[in-house]
Amino acid sequence: MKFTNGFWLMREGYSVTYALQTHRAEVLDAAGQSALAVIAATKRIKHRGDTLNAATLGLKIDSPAKDVLRVHLSHHTGGKPALKFEVTEALVETTASVDDEVATITSGALSARVSMGENWNLEFVANDKVIAHQRSRALGFVVDPEGNHHLMAQMSLGVGEQVYGLGERFTPFIKNGQTVDIWNEDGGTSSEQAYKNIPFYLTNAGYGVFINHTGRVSLEVGSEAVERVQFSAITQDLEYLVIYGPTPKDILDKYTALTGRPPLLPEWSFGLWLSTSFVTDYDEKTVQGFIDGMRERDIPLSVFHFDCFWMREFQWCDFEWDARTFPEPAAMLRRLKADGLRISLWINPYIGQASPLFEEGKQLGYLLRRNDGPGGTAGSVWQWDLWQAGNAIVDFTNPAACEWFKGKLRPLLEMGVDCFKTDFGERIPTDVVYFDGSDPEQMHNLYTQLYNQTVFDLLVEHSKDDAIVFARSATVGGQTMPVHWGGDNTSSFESMAESLRGGLSLGLSGFGYWSHDIGGFEGNPDAAVFKRWLAFGLLSSHSRLHGNESVRVPWAFDDEAVAVTRKFAKLKQLLMPYLLETSKEANVAGTPMMRAMLLEFAEDRTCWNLDQQYMFGSDLLVAPVFSAEGEVEFYLPAGEWTNFFSGKVVVGGRWIRENHGFDSIPLYVRQGSSLLTLVGSSLD
């Protein structure tokens, strides 16, 4: 959040205390790994008397992995430590030293240098070059008008330095100039809110920063001090990790080594998913009609998804089929799966008051409770009427509640369900008491991790390597439980473009797989939007036809939509060996399947800004068409590129303008790729 009034003054009611100079630094040695402990004075210390009535800031700098330095910043240390995300640590050789001029710690090619002089200066140095620094007024604590204590840090933002990532954000792709709150919200794709907030960013200056704090982290990306990225949280201790690349791929590799990498996924998950849509009327006859319609039109279908009304209204979630429309669900699933189709079911972590599970969860103590008991302890079940009447929320900090939740899903898997769409998980209140005593503010973002982990663990237990969820909310580490989709977009070209921005940002935040609702979720897309979106959606890592109040079967639009769906669904089948190989890069190095251009072409300055095209793996360039007329302009990096459909070879290093029919899209193969053998393949 913003604390200042311009560059010189504080906002009314705010006070700030900055680190002004290093008072003491010493080397700590533990288990063969060195660390630095630093005491930063917040006033000039010229003699012993100056140490009275003065706050200090403590810094511990160590290394959890090569080329990574972790800074733990603290003020008062007598309270409960802040919640942090799990980080996988490796034994790494570090060296540290202190002399009269500088205290230094080094891990791999990255060093942190703390000046021992009169002015505070913490620099991060790689290969003898300062890549980022925290100098005057860059570290401190702020007290706001309500008395809240914020720890604040600022990283330098150099000339031409651009910031990317911070989760699946639908605002401008480059985050410079933005204010970003790391706080999961159910805000759709057309706002500054996000379902998947990740307190990690990378820059084109060769490094990334991971703020390891589970609660609300506020970032001012050149939007308060324009030459800095500021991050702050209401806390007494704040941890952040500086990760040296130097390339964007290197940064993601090292970040996901710390926070987790996505698993390999079953081949069937990469095919086309078809949904009943959200609030449409349907029964087995309707579902069978959709599936038969796809088969009759020769459109390959991999997964059929039942959205919310497979359960009875007001009873979400009770995890029971609505007997009025699905009287024999087990037999129905056997019929649907006879030809190899997979089945997905919609669920969420909320329990409506009409659900039989509400009273059961209440009596067992498995639902979040208000702090209205004696002395602010757990009292009544937390409820509201938004979403479902009397809605309550499962408390996944309780291991018994996790097993209870799994127990409700397990019969569905035994019946023949293959995966779950784990919807929601963002609107998590802070006026609650958790079973394990967690701070509710620091649990807000972390809740989705516990929710998705519970479901994903069950799927692994049941189906091992076939485990997959289709999740909307996420936080750090969520990439280990794929797939995630982009949430509630609208049926417009603008929303199609914002969806792509969100997916590219998520890919730069450590997530290897991503999907979106083809045609848009809200509203009923016109045929042009739907057909353009089909090509984009079927050239995404995961592809789903899903809407809100209307279905997304292609024949609901026009005959050409059917032909476009068939062509691009078959194209994805043709590309399947390449996609499976590409997914291994996500699994091994955290490189997303759908890649912002800067990941593959970091040396090309033009690619730093591109957000209307992407690389699908290392060898395929995709430029979605965002207009009914078919005009599209895109950038081909240097080298030779081959048009996948025509076989025409084009020399890159320039912008290209083309016009495409609905059955086409700029799709170019990189020189030397094995995909060149597929160029011109018939997709009839």
List C-alpha distances in Å: 466 to 266, 340, 421.
Answer: 5, 14, 14
* The pLDDT value given to residue 91: 87
Query: Average of pLDDT values for 374-388?
Result: 93
* The pLDDT value given to residue 325: 96
Query: Average of pLDDT values for 475-489?
Result: 98
Q: Name the CATH superfamily for 4-259.
A: glycosyl hydrolase (family 31) (2.60.40.1760)
- Reference 455, options 429, 481, 480; nearest CA is 481
Mean pLDDT in the chain? 97
CATH second-level architecture of 267-347+398-430+437-583? Answer: Alpha-Beta Barrel (3.20)
- Reference 499, options 103, 188, 36; nearest CA is 188
The answer to whether residue 684 scores a pLDDT higher than 80 is no
DSSP 337-363: GGGS-EEEEEE-SEE-TTSHHHHHHHH
Q: How confident is the model at residue 598 (pLDDT cuts 50, 70, 90)?
A: very high
The proportion of the chain whose per-residue pLDDT surpasses 70, expressed as a percent, equals 100
Helix, strand, coil distribution of the chain in percent, nearest 5: 25, 30, 45
Residues with Cβ < 8 Å from 349, sequence gap 6 or more?
A: 317, 393, 394, 396, 405, 422, 424, 425, 447, 451
Domain range list for the chain: 4-259, 267-347+398-430+437-583
From the list 253, 418, 426, 611, the catalytic residue is 426
Angle between helices 329-336 and 399-415 (to 10 degrees): 60
* The pLDDT value given to residue 630: 98
Query: Average of pLDDT values for 29-52?
Result: 91
* The pLDDT value given to residue 157: 98
Query: Average of pLDDT values for 256-267?
Result: 98
Each residue's pLDDT tens digit, 118-128: 999 999 999 99
Element (H, E) at 407: helix 399-415
From the list 423, 498, 585, 611, the catalytic residue is 423
Q: How confident is the model at residue 30 (pLDDT cuts 50, 70, 90)?
A: confident
Q: How confident is the model at residue 238 (pLDDT cuts 50, 70, 90)?
A: very high
Phi/psi at 561 (5° precision): -60, -35
* The pLDDT value given to residue 74: 98
The answer to whether residue 658 scores a pLDDT higher than 90 is yes
Each residue's pLDDT tens digit, 134-169: 999 999 999 999 999 999 999 999 999 999 999 999
The answer to whether residue 638 scores a pLDDT higher than 90 is yes
Each residue's pLDDT tens digit, 79-114: 999 999 999 999 899 999 999 999 999 999 999 999
Q: Which tokens go with 262?
A: 């996505």
* The pLDDT value given to residue 176: 98
* The pLDDT value given to residue 517: 98
* The pLDDT value given to residue 415: 97
- Reference 596, options 504, 484, 497; nearest CA is 504
Residue 426 bears catalytic tag: yes
Residue 403 bears catalytic tag: no
DSSP 18-77: E--EEEEEEEEEETTEEEEEEEEESS--SSGGGGTT--EEEEEEEEEETTEEEEEEES--
Residue 12 bears catalytic tag: no
User: Is this model's pTM higher than 0.75 or not?
Assistant: yes
Query: Average of pLDDT values for 613-626?
Result: 98
- Reference 272, options 664, 568, 614; nearest CA is 568
From the list 488, 498, 522, 611, the catalytic residue is 488
* The pLDDT value given to residue 375: 86
